Amino acid sequence: MEATGAEKVWGLSSGACIALNAARTTPAIRKVALFEPPLMPHRTATAVLLRFDDEMARGAVSAAMVTAMRGGQMGPGWFRALPKVLTSRLVQMAMKQEAKQPAGNYPTMRELAPTLHADLAVVTASSGRLDDYRSIPAEVLLMGGSKSPAYLKRALGDLQRVLARARRVELPGLDHAAAWNADRRGNPEPVAHELRSFLA
């Protein structure tokens, strides 16, 4: 922002948490668009982060990935409902397959795993702080998908109640992956449409 003079900010998922906190502390931000900041009870977020870090420290990368996926309610419900020992094996098999057949320009799960600590740390630091966000003066667009997990919808609803200048948009038929590239299960055009309208 200092380099570009930008006054409008966009954040997705944990990036939405960063944008939310920036809007609280940076008066230069006039508009901030957020897509599903994964705010949750602080105790829950802390427990997920501690378990993830412990598993990574023990070299249990697939178990740590499952911890992060369950904590963020990522992936299909049937997958999260399976015993963790089984889902960890499935993730481990997927990582071995990726090692044989890399995903082109995209990082593999094994490459992404260590970076999830930062994501979870941002979520933990941002969760349980609704009252802090009341002071945000910027105009805020709250976006989410109709098929996203309930806790993400709840977070948007909570923010809408405390932010003085917030508008909420729910995108029908989409979920937390909406803004991803189309070849990675995303459907970014409806998100882009709302952004263009809001940031114009």
Instruction: Extract the runs of DSSP E, i.e. beta strands, from 72-192.
Output: 139-145, 166-171
Please tell me the predicted confidence (pLDDT) of residue 151. 95
Residue 142 has pLDDT above 90, yes or no: yes
Confidence grade of residue 80 (pLDDT, cut at 50, 70, 90): confident
Please tell me the predicted confidence (pLDDT) of residue 103. 66
Cα(19)–Cα(9) distance, rounded to whole angstroms? Answer: 7
Residue 104 has pLDDT above 90, yes or no: no
Residue 168 has pLDDT above 90, yes or no: yes
Please tell me the predicted confidence (pLDDT) of residue 78. 83
pLDDT single digits (tens) 10-66? 999 999 999 999 999 999 999 999 999 999 999 999 999 999 999 999 999 999 999
What are the sequence ranges of the domains in the chain?
8-39+129-199, 42-122
Would you say domain 8-39+129-199 falls under CATH 3.40.50.510? no
Residue 67 has pLDDT above 70, yes or no: yes
Please tell me the predicted confidence (pLDDT) of residue 101. 82
- The CA-atom distances, in angstroms, between 17 and each of 39, 125, 162, 173 are 8, 9, 15, 23
- State which of 65-74, 75-84, 190-199 shows the largest mean pLDDT: 190-199
The whole-chain average pLDDT of the chain stands at: 94
Contacts of 164 (CB under 8 A, 6+ apart): 134, 136, 137
Confidence grade of residue 77 (pLDDT, cut at 50, 70, 90): confident
